[in-house]
Chain A
Amino acid sequence: MSLLETTTTALLTLAIYSFLAGDNPFYKFAEHLLVGLTIGYTLVITLKSVIWPQAIIPMTRGEMPSLVPLLLGCLILLRLVPRWAGWSRISLALVVGGGAGVAIPAMLKARVLDQMAATANGVTSWAGWIILIGVLATLTYFVFTRAHRGAWGTSARIGRYFMMVFFGATFAYTVMSRVALLIGRLEFLMGDWLGILRS
């Protein structure tokens, strides 16, 4: 990177970090720049890689089916006209219904059926038995039509302990990765920009 690029990046990094001291004009500038840039970037990418090659070009070749998604997209834009805003519900209904139709069976397979098979078939080792107990106890925690009392409550409490172990492990793991990101930024500021650190 050139000195101008490095300095700009470093100043923007410091502007974002300045939020730690509360909202201020430097943070506002960096925030608006980031939001504006990302919206502009997304708009250009969408126009260049979706609307132009997948809707406009096929239409110029006379492939009329590509008109359907374009029309559905235009229907959503009708939300901007209060009188015709109701037409956007057609597109929204298709997105929500189609999304559910695709997502639900896929999640049923990946998150329920495959997990059940792996858990039940894993009891050939001690680790597998522990996992089975953890899964059964955690499932009892997530039953909402039964109060957590008696044996059921004990099972739910064991499930909660299993979850706490998981959350503790993931918290520590993710904090470590975030600290690595911080170290990367500090290396950039103190090394690439200020030249205090030497690699």
Chain B
Amino acid sequence: MSALNRRGFIYSRIAIAILICLVTALIPAAVLADASSSATAAAGWFHSSRIAELVGIVIAVLVLAIAALLVKRGKRLQLRSLPALDAVGDALGRATELGTPVLYSTGWGGDMGRPTTMASMGILAEIAKRAAEYNCRLLFPSHDPLIVSVAQETVSQSALAAGRPDWYRADDISFVSQSQLGYAAAVDGMMAREHPGAVFLRGSFEGGALILAETAHQTGALTIAGTDSTIELSFFLVACDYTLIGEELFAASGIVAKDPAAAAAVWSQDWLKYLVLTLLIVGAALTATVGFNLFQWTAK
């Protein structure tokens, strides 16, 4: 990524974050009022019960801005490696050598508004780019037509970035079914017939998670999973070769891309975790010693 593109990427992230902040915090109360309620809604510019979220988002934006500035001044932000991400290259190489496709699923249950799906699209972009470089076919079955549209855009852009626009096949990124078990049955059938060399299960998963992971294992695919769905994580840990646990999925796109701007986003998340750690320790100490509730302002 050129310096100009990187700067544009950073500024666009900050602009999006500020926009989200403004939309959610300053949205008129009348818009959010329940139309079925008998109460009379009054138009206003400030949603007073969302101050805690506003403060949280403003802090997050500030930390992200600092990280972006540091990257702009040339600071190299080091991220620790994750085995599940180190294995991505091996998985793609294996599928290429075997002459089989790779299968990528964002799971069932999430839509494009869900952060997990957005994070998964970041990883898909990098995997698609490498798959295009290796000339390895990529299958992407989805339960949501909007996810299909976004995935088609993402993969076609990755093919362009890899210098292989001819590699992109829109038909391989397809809608399957909105039913949970219908989706699981269709993807199982796809795995049994196409014999993918690698299966990436990254996104929101529900009841069909074990069915997908177990079928991938049975077909001999190298399986790399990642989700923030807490119950399904235990199935992935048992049935998959590698698993990204919860937050690791959100950091993965930054780590796998080896891009300073994306690393800045992960770095800012870490500083927010330090802040949470500090607040937890201080809050617990105040509760235990003087019975003061540090978080009473968040309970509105």
B80 touches A148 (CB 8 A): yes
**Is there an interface contact between B24 and A102, defined as CB atoms closer than 8 Å?**
yes
Kindly list chain A residues whose C-beta atoms are within 8 Å of the C-beta of B273.
Answer: 139, 142-143
A142 touches B295 (CB 8 A): no
| Smallest Cβ-Cβ distance to A169: which chain B residue | B234
Which partner residue on chain B sits nearest A181 by CB separation? Answer: B207
Instruction: Give bound CA distance, A71 to B61, whole Å.
Output: 34
Cross-chain contact of A145 among B150, B266, B294 (Cβ < 8 A): B266
B270 lies within 8 A of A34 (CB): no
Given A31-B189, A38-B178, A116-B276: A170 in contact with B230 (beta carbons within 8 A): yes
> Complex Cα distance A135/B246, Å?
14
| B259 lies within 8 A of chain A by Cβ | no
Q: Interface code A80-107, partner B: CB below 8 Å = 1, 0 otherwise?
A: 0000000011001001111111111101
User: Which positions 133-158 of chain B face chain A at CB distance < 8 Å?
Assistant: 145-146, 149-150, 152-153
Q: Give which listed residue, B53, B112, B248, contacts A142 with CB less than 8 A.
A: B248
Q: Map CB proximity to A onto B45-67 as digits: 1 under 8 Å, 0 otherwise.
A: 00000101100110000000000
Residues B177 and A35 in contact, CB atoms below 8 Å apart: yes
Is B112 in contact with A96, judged by CB distance below 8 angstroms? yes
In the complex, A23 Cα to B193 Cα: how many Å?
8
Among B2-10, B113-121, B159-167, the stretch that binds chain A is: B113-121
Cα A23 to Cα B237 in complex, Å, equals 25
Q: How many A-B contacts if CB must be within 8 Å?
A: 190
CA distance A113 to B251 in the complex (A): 21
B276-294 at interface with A (beta carbon < 8 Å): 276-277, 279-281, 283-284, 286-288, 293-294
**Count of interface residues, chain B, beta-carbon cutoff 8 Å:** 76
Q: Contact at A116–B295, with CB atoms within 8 Å? A: yes
A166 cross-chain contacts in B, Cβ below 8 A: 230, 234
Residues of A92-146 whose CB lies within 8 A of B: 92, 95-105, 107-109, 112-114, 116-117, 119-121, 123-124, 132, 135-136, 139-140, 142-146
Contacts of A109 in B (CB 8 A): 52-53, 298
Q: How far is the CA of A79 from the CA of B174 in the complex (A)?
A: 13
Do B56 and A108 have beta carbons less than 8 Å apart?
yes
In angstroms, Cα B52 to Cα A164, docked, is 32
Chain A CB within 8 A of B247 CB: yes
Instruction: Check A99 against B287 for contact (C-beta < 8 Å).
Output: no
| Cβ contact within 8 Å between B79 and A145 | yes
- Chain B window 217-239, contacts with chain A (Cβ cutoff 8 Å), 1 for yes, 0 for no: 00000000000001101110110
Given the complex, which residues of A lie within 8 Å of B176, measured CB to CB? 35
| In the complex with contacts A105-B24, A121-B295, A123-B288, A171-B115 CB distance below 8 A | no
For chain A, the bracket of interface size reads 35 or more
CB distance from B282 to the nearest CB of A (A): 8
Q: By DSSP majority rule, is chain B's interface helix, strand, loop, or mixed? A: helix
Contacts of B238 in A (CB 8 A): 171
Which of B53, B152, B237 lies in contact with A108, CB distance below 8 A? B53
Q: Report how far A32 CA is from B176 CA in the complex, Å.
A: 10
Interfacial chain A residues near B255, Cβ < 8 Å: 144
* Alpha-carbon separation in the docked complex, A173 to B234 (Å): 10
B52 touches A100 (CB 8 A): no
Interface residues in chain A, defined as those with a beta carbon under 8 Å from any beta carbon in chain B: 16, 19, 22-23, 27-28, 30-31, 34-35, 37-39, 41-42, 76, 79, 88-89, 92, 95-105, 107-109, 112-114, 116-117, 119-121, 123-124, 132, 135-136, 139-140, 142-148, 163, 166-168, 170-171, 173-174, 178
| A–B pairs, 30, beta carbons within 8 Å | A19-B192, A34-B177, A34-B179, A35-B186, A42-B179, A95-B146, A96-B118, A97-B16, A97-B19, A99-B113, A105-B24, A108-B56, A112-B276, A117-B299, A120-B283, A120-B286, A123-B284, A136-B277, A136-B280, A142-B246, A142-B273, A144-B79, A144-B82, A147-B80, A166-B234, A167-B237, A170-B230, A170-B231, A171-B234, A174-B231
Using a CB–CB distance below 8 Å, which chain B residues touch chain A? 16, 19-20, 23-25, 50, 52-53, 56-57, 77-80, 82, 111-115, 118, 145-146, 149-150, 152-153, 176-179, 181-182, 185-186, 188-189, 192-193, 210, 230-231, 233-235, 237-238, 245-248, 251, 255, 266-267, 269-270, 273-274, 276-277, 279-281, 283-284, 286-288, 293-296, 298-299
